[in-house]
Amino acid sequence: RHDPTRIQALAQQYEAALRALVAHCVSGVHCVTPSDFPLAGLTWEGLRALDIPAPANQWQDLYPVTPMQAGMLFHSVWDAASGDDQAPAYVNQLRVDIDGLDVERFRSAWASALARHDVLRTGFLQRAGAPLQWVARDVTLPYTVIDARNHHNASHPVATVLDAQAGTDLMQGFDLALPPLLRVTLMRTAEQRYHLIWTFHHLQLDGWSVTRLLGEVLRTYEGLPVAAGVGRYRDYLTWLANRNETDTQAYWRGCLQALTEPSLLAPALQVRGERTAAAGYADVHTRMDPAASLALTERARHHRVTVNTLLQAAWARILAQATGQSTVVFGVTTSGRPDTLAGAQHMLGLFINTMPLAVTIASDAALGDWLRGIQNQNLTSREHEHAPLFDVQRWAGQGGSALFDTLLVFENYPVDAALKTQGSAGLRFANLQNNEQTHYALTLVVTQQPGLSLQLSYDRSRVSDAVAQALAQRLHYVLARLAAHEGRVGALPLTPPNELALLSPNESGLPLSAEVASEFGALPVHRQFERQARLWADRIAVTCLDASLTYGELDRRANQLAHHLQRMGVRAEQCVGIAAERSLELVVALLAVLKAGAAYVPLDPDYPNDRLAYMLQDSGVSLLLTQSGLAARMGKLSSSTTLMVLDQMDVASEPVTPPDVTHHPENLAYVIYTSGSTGKPKGAANRHVALTNRLAWMQQAYGLKADDVVLQKTPFSFDVSVWEFFWPLMTGARLALAGPGDHRDPARLSALIREQGVTTLHFVPSMLHAFISHAEQAGAESCTTLRRIVCSGEALGADLQARCLALLPQAGMYNLYGPTEAAIDVTHWTCVDDDSGVVPIGYPIAGIQTRVLDAQLNPVPIGVSGELYLGGVGLARGYLNRAGLTSDRFIADPDGQGGRLYRTGDLVRWMQDGQLEYLGRLDHQVKIRGLRIELGEIEAAISSHPGVEQVAVLAQDGPSGARLVAYVAPATVDATALRSALSAALPDYMVPAAFTPLNRLPINANGKLDRKALPKAEFAASQAYVAPEGQAEVRLAEVWAQVLDTARVGRHDNFFELGGDSIAVMEVVAAVKQVHGIDVPLRTLFDAPTIAQLVALPQLHALWGAMGEGAKERQAEFAAIDSLLNELEM
């Protein structure tokens, strides 16, 4: 049955295989199995897939990483892949001068430590699934001795040489898979002196371990015995694996339920467009003197809390001030050494963990009660301090986002104490430096020495040097104040006096010059007009279409109407209504009402009847001036109001001289109604003194001349119209009225500028955008007469500013800010295209005080956001007939000087140069995925898209929480193209989840967006499952589904919305590498969080085609090995 030749060949092959097997067994080559490493939980396939840079006989142990190590590993890999020219995160360094050192004895002492401690021979492996750490049986100590005695001179001092070497060591980093993750470098600087540079990775050692290890090395160096350790780091891993996480999850969910958003200090304090320093990290050091430190310790004892609790309280107050949050959260480190684990206090390793500490600023609470509450929270969290931070962040309900970017570390194991205990071997230590680097924007390390030592380490790409210096100073100040404070929490001073002193020069506008004050600041505006009429009676004062009036004609007609009003019973302080289209009659009526001693109330004919009727009733207007085309409609609004039709009145018999009326600066000049939060408009009653000051400042700042022409195009129901009407008439310039409706038509405005020779006009930024877009297409030749472009009413974007300056270089551009309650404008900024990305609202005008205060009415320092309060001569009297609302918005100055402040409701902050940056409305912010979002920024981005005429962005409840919804008009807007454009301009969390095109957005009776009338947005379409397409997408979806433990993944599903986090990103990258042989950079998944986006990336596209070939080879190899093993087991 069998061929003898074939049987003989088979026998020979079998013999050869046996001989090879025996040779292998006696060769000493070590073989390992998964059972050798029970903590690792590996299969045969997983074991073979490990890429350990050493033969198997060097593998002493394998086990998982701790949660803290997993986080550090992620940020270490992230930094390594970033290509940034800065030291990697979590590479630490200790430097100290040592006199009397024996170099070889020192080397031997370090080598003994490496042999004694597993953690010093540990490397870290990225793999499909969770990372692992492996322990090598033997490692070689990287030990370098450099003679630096001849490497320095007067121009190149020894400190520079040492810093350069230390910097080189830091920048070198480590191959995390290849232990040991430490280096010892000795720089010989004198005959008996060396400078030690010990560089190591934080993955291996926490601060307690650093101190113990250094102490062991020095004891060994001295020939003293080192106590045998009890237990190994792997025992800690076993202890962690047996923890019950159910109670821990419930604890953290309850502990963080008051948290409404992350506390991110760096973005809160970074001015938009501000250029930070070059990449890298820096430190700010400050120290409290022993007396102040003792006082702080005594205060802690008095309140029955620790000094650490006082530090946490101080930092919470500073963080709350910076972010504007009532509940803040920051990271704190815990020792992590369990009392129930034998020998834990003496082991080396990374035991610490970073946990969130959420603190609610209970402003009305007694300080001691509040402090003890913080301490109790620290104590109760000890039972749950071993939870992975990425899990805690997920439990916090903030969409898995980072909860904080600041870390507070209170060290009670100073390294210099370990050095001071040594010395019998003749070693002397000096100039200790300890460089510890985290991935956080700012890390505060506090040590108790003779005097409390504070070190702020910060990422210079996220925190500027000036901000870091200021934070260190504030912390020092708040701690000093805590040592003596007895009152409420909210009364604790937070801003150092020297910072408050920096604010004072910027809070008040420069005064009017004596010349301007005497010429323009002493008389009410109509009296200043009368002076111009006497000087230039025959000069054209106002034009409207083809009609015009000279100064003399306008003055006579206004005088006659004013006399007639007086005969009708109009008196000082009386409100007279005016309802008219833009016309010569309107200008006459405005002047006449003021000349009669009354205040005018503009009633825009474009307003709905209900709104106009309410304004008439609320203001108590008994006399209404109108035009014949509006008389019938206006007559139906109020039965108690007398109508006077301007274009049908005969006042020719009235005197042409000004009425004899005595004006007091405090008399009302006008009442303009603004929208109210209750749905009913409110009338801001402005005084003559405020208006006079405002216009005098404008003349001083921008100087109209006789040949200037000011275009009046703003509806007179808005306060910008006030200066458009009166500024040219009080200075002898010409007022050009746009026709009714012209203010909405960019083409018509361009024509008016050309026809009238307009030199000065105003735009709200949204209309400026339309005007500039038209001029860019039609040409700006018609606008060459422009000298001044004034913007206000909305936030002015830097892009629009740049376009305007580029298109109209001959014109000055000015950004003004002000509420109706403060006589038009209160701050000013002359625009320049400086590439900063920020258009500030500038400095206060003359006679105005600008104050930025927190919720407790305390001034906030430079760079910190707060509510803008206004004081000075420009304030309105209040809201007409609304005493309660007036007392709520116009408050007593907390400085106690008897003045008033107006609460604007606007969020601003001081910039370093003393200007104000506008940040948005306090009531127009929403939170999506735990991030604070200003809806106006998104609306501005959508408005810049071609074809969009109207936009509103809201936050609505979607399938998985709050989602952004955009409503755009007209309905022809391409939502897909709009989404694509926004994705390129905004962060992904600011791109609306749904777009709803409408013909027009609904407007309510107050002229505002009617949010209730907007249709409910549909999220279903954007959330629908779309199957992966192509081999690469299918295989990536399989990897994602396995890592995220989900049934299926669509090609447009967002990785992070599916529950992914930074650790899951590492697992995906490792799995793709292991299974498919493709290196995907760690950052890529953050830039392209959907499978479709990831596969489409140009830099990866070529790799996807090869996906699968490497996987097939590996699968075939594993199958062959498993088949052989099965045969051997049979």
What is the helix, strand, coil percentage profile of the chain, to 5? 40, 20, 35
pLDDT band at 982; cut points 50, 70, 90: confident
Mean pLDDT for 56-61 is: 93
- State yes or no: pLDDT of 412 exceeds 80: no
Q: Which residues contact 1089 (CB under 8 A, 6 or more apart)?
A: 988, 1054, 1055, 1056, 1060
- In one-letter notation, the amino acid at residue 172 is Q
% of the chain exceeding 70 in pLDDT: 89
1107 neighbors 1101 (Cβ within 8 angstroms)? no
Average pLDDT in the 548-569 region? 97
Q: What is the structure's pLDDT at 439?
A: 86
pLDDT reported for residue 781:
84
Taking residues 103-117, report their average pLDDT.
Answer: 96
pLDDT average, residue stretch 503-528: 91
**pLDDT, greater one: 853 or 1066:** 853
What integer is the mean pLDDT of 391-417? Answer: 80
**What is the structure's pLDDT at 535?**
96
Mean pLDDT of the region 425-454: 87
565-618 residue pLDDT tens: 999 999 999 999 999 999 999 999 999 999 999 999 999 998 878 889 989 999
- Percent of the chain exceeding pLDDT 90 equals 53
Q: How far is CA 115 from the centre of its chain?
A: 48
Q: How many residues does the chain have?
A: 1130
Exposure string for 1116-1125, b = 16+ CB within 10 A, e = fewer: eeeeeeeeee
The pLDDT mean for the chain works out to 87
pLDDT at 423 over 70: no
Does residue 15 have a pLDDT over 80? yes
Taking a C-beta distance cutoff of 8 angstroms, is the pair 731, 741 a contact? no
- Predicted confidence (pLDDT) at residue 35 exceeds the cutoff of 80: yes
Q: Does 758 score more than 60 pLDDT?
A: yes
The pLDDT of residue 896 is 73
pLDDT of residue 1129: 41
Residues 321-350 have a mean pLDDT of: 91
Write the pLDDT tens digit of every residue in 176-191. 999 999 999 999 999 9
Q: Between 191 and 1055, whose confidence is greater?
A: 191
State which of 238-247, 341-350, 867-876 shows the largest mean pLDDT: 867-876
Question: Binning pLDDT at 50, 70 and 90, where does residue 1108 land?
Answer: very low
pLDDT in tens, 794-835: 888 888 999 999 999 999 999 999 999 999 999 999 999 887
* C-alpha triplet 838, 844, 849: angle, nearest 5°: 130
Torsion angle of alpha carbons 392, 397, 398, 403, nearest 10°? -30
Smallest CA-to-CA distance from 634 within 649, 648, 613, 606 is with 613
What is the predicted pLDDT for the residue at 433?
87
Q: Which pLDDT does position 960 carry in this prediction?
A: 39
Instruction: Specify the pLDDT at position 370.
Output: 96
Q: Tell which residue, 569, 626, 578, has the closest CA to residue 599.
A: 578
Q: What is the pLDDT of residue 18?
A: 82
Long-range Cβ contact pairs of 82-87 (< 8 A, separation 24 or more): 82/1083, 84/279, 84/461, 85/278, 85/279, 85/280, 86/279, 86/280, 86/281, 86/461, 87/167, 87/170, 87/171, 87/173, 87/280, 87/281, 87/437
- What does residue 934 show for φ and ψ, rounded to 5 degrees? -90, 115
Token couple for 41: 């939980």
pLDDT reported for residue 1128: 41
Kindly tell me if the per-residue pLDDT of 987 is higher than 50. yes
* The predicted structure's pLDDT at residue 543: 97
Q: Look at the block and give the residue holding tokens 């779309």.
A: 1026
Return the pLDDT at 1003.
75
**pLDDT score of 1009 more than 90:** no
Cα–Cα distance, 956 to 993 (Å, whole number): 10
Nearest to 627 by CA among 610, 607, 608, 605: 605
Mean pLDDT of 463-476: 93
Q: Is residue 1118 over pLDDT 80? A: no
Measured CA to CA, the distance from residue 51 to residue 72 in angstroms comes to 20
Residue 962: which pLDDT band, with cuts at 50, 70 and 90? Answer: low
188 contact partners, CB below 8 Å, separation of at least 6: 145, 146, 147, 148, 149, 194, 195
Contact (CB, 8 A) for 316 and 474: no
Say yes or no to pLDDT of 109 above 90: yes
The alpha-helical segments, DSSP class H, found in 906-999 are 935-943, 975-985
Amino acid 32: pLDDT: 86
CA distances to 888, 899, 1103 from 871, in Å: 15, 7, 64
Please name which of 262, 252, 394 lies closest in space to residue 1060, comparing C-alpha atoms. 394
Region 748-768: mean pLDDT is 92
Higher local confidence (pLDDT), 80 or 504:
504
Contact in structure between 881 and 690 (CB atoms under 8 Å) = no
Which of 211, 327, 217 has the alpha carbon at shortest distance from 263?
Answer: 327
The pLDDT score that the predictor gives to residue 893 is 93
pLDDT at 741 over 80: no
Neighbours of 1041 (CB within 10 A): 14
What pLDDT is attached to residue 1111? Answer: 46
Q: Which of 867, 873, 905, 909 is nearest to 889 (CA)?
A: 905
